[in-house]
């Protein structure tokens, strides 16, 4: 990674904040990573909702959404970039059932027939002096009064009250880019949680976005220092237990090696030295 050509998205920023070593594995080393069931389901649901809003308003029904789900899954179900690692036929049926539940929950929160999306899966970017901020907004609505509303679909669980502001990190990121790139501070940013289901909303303002911009500039400098010094700190946490990079991670190297050694000993039965 060239420090002078630093590009950050909400997901990469989150990676660096949670564990710089994870950021290095994903963004610098670009190590391959198996697709999890949750990530694959999220990608599929996002694709279905994008297709749904591309249809004429009267066609945006629950039945049509399920038809799109089945059609899109048939297209990608054998693609290793989309199919969850190790998922068999029985697991696939259960996985699809959960995806259908998420789609049904979506219609409890919104009536897409009454909404007009101005942009879907909208790529935006803006260059600060230290970094390029970039990423994809799920949905933009430009209202008749000229105001903007940004919507992000979430297939995970809604956070606790103490974590609500943190949950808006990605949308605050995009609100900042919209302000700097287009001169518009979105009137509202919305997190649509499909698993619960519930909608969380926040109204950005200039003070909030200026503070967020300072945070992004400081974080960009921290990433640049890590690139210069090759110092990528590990930050062990409970999330490590689901991290696919444990075998390569310095914080887990001894644990993984010890586990492998113990397993080999148990299999070969050579864990004890006995005399004649």
Tens digit of pLDDT for each residue in 226-255? 999 999 999 999 989 989 999 999 998 755
Helix (H, G, I), strand (E, B) or coil at 171: helix
Q: What pLDDT score was predicted for residue 161?
A: 78
Residue 28 contacts residue 39 (beta carbons within 8 Å): no
d(CA 68, CA 195): 19
Strand partners, 123: 136
pTM value is: 0.87
Is the peptide bond prior to 197 cis by the omega test (within 30 degrees of 0)? Answer: yes
Residue 15 contacts residue 21 (beta carbons within 8 Å): no
d(CA 106, CA 102): 6
Q: Which residue has the tokens 């903007």?
A: 148
Q: What pLDDT score was predicted for residue 2?
A: 60
Residue 174 contacts residue 135 (beta carbons within 8 Å): yes
Strand partners, 222: none
Residue 38 contacts residue 145 (beta carbons within 8 Å): no
Distance of CA 112 to the CA centre of its chain: 23
Q: What pLDDT score was predicted for residue 239?
A: 86
- Per-domain residue ranges for the chain? 3-29+116-229, 37-114
Below-70 pLDDT ranges, the chain: 1-4, 254-276
Residue 224 contacts residue 27 (beta carbons within 8 Å): no
Helices (H), the chain: 10-18, 20-23, 37-54, 62-76, 89-109, 164-167, 169-182, 206-229, 253-268
């Amino acid at each position: 990674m060239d420090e002078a050509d630093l590009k950050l998205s909400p997901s990469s920023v989150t990676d660096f904040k949670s564990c710089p070593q994870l950021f290095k594995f994903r963004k610098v080393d670009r190590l391959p990573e198996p697709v999890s069931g949750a990530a694959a389901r999220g990608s599929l649901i996002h694709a279905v909702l994008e297709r749904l809003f591309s249809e004429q308003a009267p066609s945006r029904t629950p039945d049509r959404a399920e038809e799109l789900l089945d059609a899109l899954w048939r297209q990608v179900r054998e693609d290793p970039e989309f199919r969850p690692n190790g998922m068999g036929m029985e697991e696939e049926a259960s996985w699809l059932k959960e995806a259908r539940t998420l789609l049904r929950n979506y219609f409890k929160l919104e009536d897409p027939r009454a909404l007009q999306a101005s942009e879907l899966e909208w790529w935006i970017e803006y260059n600060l002096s230290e970094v390029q901020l970039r990423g994809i907004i799920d949905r933009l609505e430009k209202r008749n009064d000229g105001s903007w509303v940004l919507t992000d679909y979430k297939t995970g669980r809604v956070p606790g009250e103490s974590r609500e502001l943190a949950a808006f990190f990605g949308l605050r990121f995009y609100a900042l880019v919209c302000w700097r790139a287009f001169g518009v501070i979105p009137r509202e940013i919305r997190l649509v949680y499909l698993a619960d289901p519930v909608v969380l909303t926040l109204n950005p303002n200039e003070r909030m976005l200026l503070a967020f911009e300072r945070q992004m500039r400081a974080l960009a400098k921290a990433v640049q220092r890590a690139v210069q010094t090759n110092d990528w700190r590990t930050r062990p946490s409970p999330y490590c237990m689901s991290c696919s990079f444990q075998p390569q991670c310095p914080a887990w190297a001894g644990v993984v090696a010890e586990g492998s050694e113990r397993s080999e000993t148990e299999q070969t039965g050579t864990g004890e030295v006995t005399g004649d």
